[in-house]
Structure formats: structure tokens, C-alpha cells
Amino acid sequence: MQLHPHTIIIAEAGVNHNGSLETAIEMVRRAADAGVDYVKFQTFKAESLVSATAPQAKYQKDNCGGDGTQLTMLRALELNENDFMILAEECNRCGVGFMSTPFDMQSIDFLSSVNMDYWKIPSGEITNLPYLRKIASKGGRIILSTGMSTIDEVKDAVTALSLGGVDKKDIYLLHCTTQYPTPHEAVNLRAMDSLKELGCAGVGYSDHTRGILVPIAAVARGAEIIEKHFTLDHDMPGPDHKASLSTDELKEMVSSIREVEKILGSEIKEVTATEQPNITVARKSIVASRSIRKGEPLTDHNITTKRPGSGISPMLWDSVIGSHAIRDFLADEPIEI
């Protein structure tokens, strides 16, 4: 039996290291222990990402305090290029893939020198045409998050990447709701169906809800990639900790998704090996409903169906009716013809 394909699970470390390489390394180790496929970070130069007056989102203000500008917040969350090289090596040592999302042009150039299986484009860059063109020029497979976007904006982004030389079969689309945390009524997993219609490599889900219920539901709905934030400590200062999983929750999510993959199985409807022994026990055969004499016609009045299913199948009922008993039969004895 062809089982459901392996769901790619990306543990989004993001900026939950709070600018500490040591914390980031520990996050790699914890995520690897949880059984994820990739650990993803965010690569940026704060001055290249935001203007000096760009305000924080409400959830960022609530979680970070400070002067309310993104620039001040992001400066404290930067890692340098050497840090990312160390993290890539640590991922390799721990047996997980390294990924990082570039948030500016300089970071795209840097990350092109790091061996990554996928480029990850965040939702906020889906309308950034120069950025999309630069990512496309680097080649390779792409995972595109689609939070805050309409289906037409997703189509435009896919077109830009395709015109830049990326095959649509190398582009994965992640449904996403850009709110931290996302309330359940704003999740809308059925939107993945619309993304599937765009003919890209596949679809997935980038989750910002609390807990693990929604990503598990997304896999059951057809997500081939799951991305989920995690943290070493929900009480650490920073924008994303409170909407992230603990490492224990991350491990539970991975385990649950792997169980869902087993449950989903394949598209083939067939008798499984586990149920094969129960066929005879649960199905019925055509049997005598009373004593029947040899040569007596078989009718609705002297035959019936009962377990076990080791005799003639009731699906052959019409062929049996009207024939004659080839011998004497006792009540409940399987009919032979």
C-alpha cells in the first residue's frame, strides 16, 4: 500500500533566539530531538528591512514594549552571517535541514552561499517584485507563504517566480493567516484547495494558532508542509514567543502528524492485511433455514444468510434461488450447488 507522503515539518525558530547564538544552537538541538525535518531562522539587516519610523504591530508592542518601532525591536534580534554558518553546521550535525528566510536583498545573496534545500519566502514579501525576481535568479526550490494575500496576488507572485526561471513544480504554496496568535475562525484551511488549483508542486500550511490542533487538521486536509513557531520559553521577551509551541508541544505535534500520516494511508480502497482474517467471521454465507431434502427447490422459504462467510456469497443469491438441492441439508448448513 502506498502510504500518505511524508509531511515536511519545519520548526520555525525565527527570532525566538532573541539575538543569542547560544540560544539558537539550543533551539536546533531541541527541534532535532522533536523529530522535525528542518529548523528555520530569519536572516535580515534591520536597517535594510524597515524604515526608522515603521511602527510595530499591536502584538509586537504587547510582547516587546520599547519605543514602538520595528527598527529598535529588530536590531536586538539580529544574528550575523557567521552565526548562520555555525547554525547550518549545527543543523547538519544534528541531522536536520537548515533553512532561513531572507528579508532583504543582501540576505538573499548571503543565503545563496549556504546549502539550503528550499528558499522560504515570507508572506510580507509576496508583493515585492524585485525581491521575488532576485530569489528566482538564484535557482532552487521555493516555499512561498501566502498570508495577507488574495488568490490573484498569489498568482502574480507565482508568475513572477516563473518568469524568473523557476518551474512551477518547484514552488510550494503555504496557506497562512498572518495574525499572532490566529483565532480558529480566521484559519480557513479550505483555502488550501484554491492554492492547489494553481498547479504548483504542492500546498502546505504555516500556522500561527495556539497549540497543535490546527496543523494536525491541516495535514488531514492535505498539507504536505507544516511550518510552526517554537520557543524555549514562552515567557522570554520578544514578538513571537507567546504564539509559539514549547519544545514538548513541538515533539507532540510531530508525533501526532506522523500518526495522522499512517491514518491517511493511500487513495486505494482495498482489503488491508489487518482486516483480512475478519472477512470470514463478519460476512455471511447462504445456508439452509430448515432441513432440505435432496432435489427440493431452493427458495426464499428454505434458505437464508448467516455467518460465517466461508460458503457461497449472498451476492450469488439470485443464482441459487430456483436451483435444486444437490443433497440433504440440515438447518444452518452451508448450501452447496
pLDDT surpassing 90 at residue 50: no
3-state SS of the chain: helix, strand, coil percent to 5?
Answer: 40, 20, 40
Q: What is the pLDDT of residues 244-260, one digit of tens each?
A: 999 999 999 999 999 99
Query: Percent of the chain scored above 70 by pLDDT?
Result: 96
Q: Return the minimum-mean-pLDDT range out of 50-64, 228-242, 287-301, 316-330.
A: 50-64
Q: Return the minimum-mean-pLDDT range out of 56-65, 75-84, 97-106, 157-166.
A: 56-65
Please compute the mean of the pLDDT values over residues 119-127 and round it to a whole number: 98
State the cell numbers at 236: 522570554
Length of the chain: 337
Q: What is the mean pLDDT of the chain?
A: 94
Please compute the mean of the pLDDT values over residues 182-209 and round it to a whole number: 98
Q: Return the minimum-mean-pLDDT range out of 13-22, 67-76, 125-134, 200-209.
A: 67-76
pTM of the model as a whole: 0.89
- Domain boundary at 264, 283, 316, which? 264
Q: Say yes or no: 278 and 250 in one domain.
A: no
Q: Say yes or no: 209 and 298 in one domain.
A: no
Please compute the mean of the pLDDT values over residues 52-61 and round it to a whole number: 74
pLDDT surpassing 60 at residue 67: no
With respect to residue 2, please indicate whether it lies within any of the assigned structural domains: no
CA 96 from chain centre, in angstroms, equals: 17
Q: Tell me, what's the pLDDT at 1?
A: 43
Instruction: Measure the CA–CA gap between 322 and 75, rounded to whole angstroms.
Output: 89
Q: Say yes or no: 198 and 278 in one domain.
A: no
Residue 58: give its domain's CATH number: 3.20.20.70
pLDDT surpassing 90 at residue 107: yes
Residue 337: give its domain's CATH number: 3.90.1210.10
Other CB atoms within 10 A of residue 114 CB: 15
Q: Return the minimum-mean-pLDDT range out of 42-46, 194-198, 246-250, 274-278.
A: 42-46
Residue 239's pLDDT band (cuts 50, 70, 90): confident
- Domain boundary at 264, 296, 318, which? 264
With respect to residue 3, please indicate whether it lies within any of the assigned structural domains: no
Q: Tell me, what's the pLDDT at 4?
A: 66
Q: What is the pLDDT of residues 130-160, one digit of tens each?
A: 999 999 999 999 999 999 999 999 999 999 9
Please compute the mean of the pLDDT values over residues 217-244 and round it to a whole number: 93
Q: Say yes or no: 259 and 283 in one domain.
A: no
Q: Return the minimum-mean-pLDDT range out of 58-72, 181-195, 217-231.
A: 58-72
With respect to residue 201, please indicate whether it lies within any of the assigned structural domains: yes
Which of 252-283 are b and which e, b meaning 16 or more Cβ less than 10 Å from the residue's Cβ?
Answer: bbbeebeebbeeeeeeeeeeeeeeeeeeeeeb
pLDDT surpassing 50 at residue 42: yes
Please compute the mean of the pLDDT values over residues 287-305 and round it to a whole number: 98
With respect to residue 244, please indicate whether it lies within any of the assigned structural domains: yes
pLDDT surpassing 60 at residue 280: yes
Q: Say yes or no: 246 and 296 in one domain.
A: no
Structural domain boundaries, residue 293:
271-337
- Helices 81-94 and 21-34, interaxial angle, to 10°? 20
With respect to residue 1, please indicate whether it lies within any of the assigned structural domains: no
Q: What's the number of domains the chain is made of?
A: 2
Q: Say yes or no: 34 and 159 in one domain.
A: yes
